Amino acid sequence: MDWKSSIALSLCLTQSEKMSKQQLKWIVTGNFTADGAVAYLQAENRFSRQLVDALVFENKEDAEAARKAAAGREALVTDPYVTEVADADKQLDVLTARERIRSQGPSTPYGRLSPTPRVV
Amino acid sequence: MYQYDEYDRRIVAERAKQFEGQVERRYSGEITESEFKPLRLQNGLYMQLHAYMLRVAIPYGTLSSKQLRKLAHIARTYDRNYGHFTTRQNLQYNWPKLDDVPKILQELASVEMHAIQTSGNCVRNVTSDHLAGVAPDELEDPRPWAEIIRQWSTFHPEFAALPRKFKIAVGATPGVDRAAIAYHDIGVRLIENEAGERGFEVLAGGGMGRTPYIGQVVGKFVAKEDLLSYIEAILRVYNTYGRRDNLYKARIKILVNALGVEAFRERVEEEWEQIKDGPLKLEQAEIERVARHFAPPPYEKLPDGKPQLDALRLGKDRELARFVRNNVLAHKQPGYAAVIVSLKQKGIPPGDMSDEQMDAFADLADRFGFGELRVTHTQNLVLPDVRASDVPALHAELVKLGLATPNHNKLTDLIACPGLDYCALANARSIPVALELMERFEDIDYQSDLGELNVKISGCINACGHHHVGHIGILGIDKGGEEFYQIMLGGSAGYDASLGEFLGKALSVTDIVPGVSKVLNCYLGLRTSPEDRFIDVVRRVGLAPFKEAVYGPPTMRQGVAHADH
Q: Domain locations in chain B?
A: 6-110, 134-291, 306-401, 415-563
The CB density around residue A81, as the number of other CB atoms within 10 Å, is: 13
**Which H/E stretch holds residue B373?**
strand B372-375
- Between CA B67 and CA B53 the distance in angstroms is 19
Cα angle B501, B503, B507; round to 5: 130
Amino acid B88 reads R
Q: What is the pLDDT of residue B456?
A: 98
Q: Please name the CATH architecture into which domain B306-401 falls.
A: Alpha-Beta Complex (3.90)
The CB density around residue B422, as the number of other CB atoms within 10 Å, is: 28
According to CATH, the topology of domain B415-563 is: Sulfite Reductase Hemoprotein; domain 1 (3.30.413)
Range of the domain at A78: 21-104
Tell me the C-alpha to C-alpha distance, in Å, between residue B122 and each of B41, B119, B305, B368, B454: 10, 7, 44, 37, 30
Identify the residue with better confidence: A115 or B282. B282
β-strand A47-48 against A38-41: which pairing, if any?
antiparallel
Is the four-CA dihedral B396, B86, B182, B238 of positive or negative sign? negative
| Nearest beta carbon to residue B50 from set A37, A79, A112 | A37
Structural domain contains residue A79: yes
Q: Is B52 on the interface with A (CB under 8 A)?
A: yes
Structural domain total, chain A: 1
- Between CA B474 and CA B507 the distance in angstroms is 10
Q: Is B309 on the interface with A (CB under 8 A)?
A: no
- Between CA B146 and CA B127 the distance in angstroms is 7
Q: What is the pLDDT of residue B78?
A: 98
Whether the pTM exceeds 0.90: the reply is yes
Identify the residue with better confidence: A118 or B394. B394
The contacts of residue B25 (CB under 8 Å, 6+ apart) are: B31, B36
Structural domain contains residue A27: yes
Percent of residues in chain A assigned helix, strand, coil, to nearest 5: 40, 25, 35
The CB density around residue B313, as the number of other CB atoms within 10 Å, is: 15
Tell me the C-alpha to C-alpha distance, in Å, between residue B309 and each of A6, B24, B93, B469: 43, 56, 37, 32
* Least Cα separation, residue B481 to chain A (angstroms): 4
Average pLDDT over residues B427-441: 96
Q: Is A7 on the interface with B (CB under 8 A)?
A: yes
Given a contact cutoff of 8 angstroms between Cβ atoms, the answer to whether B530 and B452 are in contact is: no
Edge-to-edge order in the sheet of strand B352-354: B45-47, B52-56, B91-93, B82-85, B352-354
Same fold for the pair B134-291 and B306-401: no
Phi, psi of B557 (to 5 degrees): -85, 150
Print the SS3 string covering B127-168: EECCCCCCCCCCCCCCHHHHHHHHHHHCCCHHHCCCCCCECE
Q: What is the pLDDT of residue A87?
A: 83
Q: Is A73 on the interface with B (CB under 8 A)?
A: no
* Res. B564: pLDDT tops 50: no
CATH number for the segment(s) B6-110: 3.90.480.20
Question: Bridge-partner residues for B387, per DSSP?
Answer: B336
ipTM of the complex: 0.90
Nearest to B333 by CA among B363, B365, B369, B367: B369
Q: What is the pLDDT of residue B152?
A: 97
Given a contact cutoff of 8 angstroms between Cβ atoms, the answer to whether B541 and B526 are in contact is: yes
- Between CA B124 and CA B172 the distance in angstroms is 20
Chain centre distance of CA B259: 28
Confidence of residue B489 (pLDDT cuts 50, 70, 90): very high
Structural domain contains residue A74: yes
Structural domain contains residue A2: no
Q: What is the pLDDT of residue A119?
A: 36
pLDDT tens for B9-41 read: 999 999 999 999 999 999 999 999 999 999 999
* Res. B233: pLDDT tops 90: yes
β-strand B472-479 against B328-330: which pairing, if any?
unpaired
Q: What is the pLDDT of residue A4?
A: 54
What residues 454-493 of chain B have any CB closer than 8 A to a CB of chain A?
A: 478, 480-483
Q: What is the pLDDT of residue B555?
A: 73
pLDDT tens for B171-213 read: 999 999 999 999 999 999 999 999 999 999 999 999 999 999 9
What residues 186-245 of chain B have any CB closer than 8 A to a CB of chain A?
A: none
The contacts of residue B511 (CB under 8 Å, 6+ apart) are: none
Edge-to-edge order in the sheet of strand B372-375: B62-64, B372-375, B381-387, B336-341, B328-330
* Res. A18: pLDDT tops 70: no
According to CATH, the topology of domain B134-291 is: Sulfite Reductase Hemoprotein; domain 1 (3.30.413)
Q: Is A104 on the interface with B (CB under 8 A)?
A: no
B422: which chain A residues are within 8 Å (Cβ-Cβ)?
Answer: 106
Q: What is the pLDDT of residue B460?
A: 97
Average pLDDT over residues B496-513: 97
3-class DSSP state for residue B110?
coil
